[in-house]
Amino acid sequence: MTQNLQILKKSGELVPFDIEKLRNSLLRSGASTEMVEEVMDSLLVGLHSGMSTHKVYSQAYQILSKLSHRSAGRYRLKKAIMELGPTGFPFEQYVAALFQARGIKAVTGQIIEGRCVQHEVDVVGENNEKVIVVECKFHRDGNTKSDVKIPLYIHSRFEDIYLKWKEEGRIGNREFEGYLITNTRFTEDAVNYGKCAGLHLISWDYPQGHSLRDLIDASGLHPITSLKSLNSKEKESILGKGIVLCRDLNDEVLKQANISLNKIPKILLESHSLSE
CATH number of the domain within which 201 lies: 3.40.1350.10
Average pLDDT of the segment spanning 205-220: 88
Residues 228 and 242 in one domain: yes
Look at residue 80 and tell me if it is in a domain.
no
Statement: residue 84 has pLDDT above 70? yes
Which residue, among 73, 175, 193, 85, has the nearest Cα to 136 in the 3D structure? Answer: 85
Instruction: Let me know if residue 111 belongs to a domain.
Output: yes
The verdict on 161 and 202 lying in the same domain is yes
Considering only residues 13 and 28, tell me which one the structure prediction assigns the higher pLDDT: 13
Q: How far apart are CA 168 and CA 175, in angstroms?
A: 15
Residues 94, 122: one domain?
yes
Cα dihedral value 159, 164, 166, 172, nearest 10: -110
Mean pLDDT of the chain: 88
Average pLDDT over residues 168-197: 96
pLDDT at position 43 is 86
Burial of 235 (0-12, 13-18, 19+ CB in 10 A): buried
Do 252 and 150 lie in one domain? The reply is no
Position 137 pLDDT exceeds 90:
yes
List, as one string, the DSSP characters of 115-126: SSSEEEEEEEEE
Evaluate whether residue 172 is within a structural domain.
Answer: yes
* 1: in domain: no
- pLDDT reported for residue 45: 81
Residue 30 has pLDDT above 80, yes or no: no
Half-sphere exposure of 242 (CA within 13 A, CB side): 2
> Comparing 222 with 132, which gets the higher pLDDT?
132
In a domain, residue 27? The reply is yes
- Condensed to tens digits (0 to 9), the pLDDT of residues 225-262 reads 988 889 989 999 999 888 999 889 988 999 999 898 88
Among 51, 75, 99, the domain boundary falls at 75
Q: How many domains does the chain have?
A: 3
Q: What is the mean pLDDT of residues 162-191?
A: 96
Residue 158 CA, chain-centre distance (Å), reads: 23
pTM of the model: 0.75
With a cut of 60, say whether residue 1 has pLDDT above it. no
- Provide the pLDDT for residue 29: 67
User: Residue 224 has what pLDDT?
Assistant: 92
Indicate the residue type of 273. Answer: S
**Greater model confidence, 118 or 31:** 118
User: Which residue range forms the structural domain that includes residue 263?
Assistant: 223-275
Mean pLDDT of 142-152: 94
Dihedral (Cα; 228, 232, 236, 237), 10-degree rounding: -80
pLDDT bracket for residue 71 (50, 70, 90): low
Where is the domain boundary, 219, 235, 258? 219
Q: Element (H or E) spanning 175, and its range?
A: strand 175-182
Residue 227 maps to a domain: yes
pLDDT for res 36:
84
Does 81 reside within a domain? no
Task: Inform me whether the pLDDT recorded for 173 exceeds 90.
Answer: yes
Residues 49-78, mean pLDDT to the nearest whole number: 76
- CA atoms in the 13 A half-sphere facing the CB of 31: 30
Asked if residue 99 and residue 209 are part of one domain, the reply reads yes
Distance (Å, rounded) from C-alpha 142 to C-alpha 146? 11
- How far apart are alpha carbons 103 and 105 in whole angstroms? 7
Do residues 133 and 161 lie in contact, with contact meaning Cβ atoms separated by under 8 Å? yes
d(CA 253, CA 48): 43
User: Range with the lowest mean pLDDT among 34-38, 59-63, 129-133, 232-236?
Assistant: 59-63
- Whether residues 93 and 58 fall in one domain: no
Whether residues 65 and 102 share a domain: the answer is: no
Range from 25-29, 107-111, 221-225 carrying the lowest mean pLDDT? 25-29
Distance CA 67, CA 74 (A): 13
Average pLDDT of the segment spanning 70-93: 79
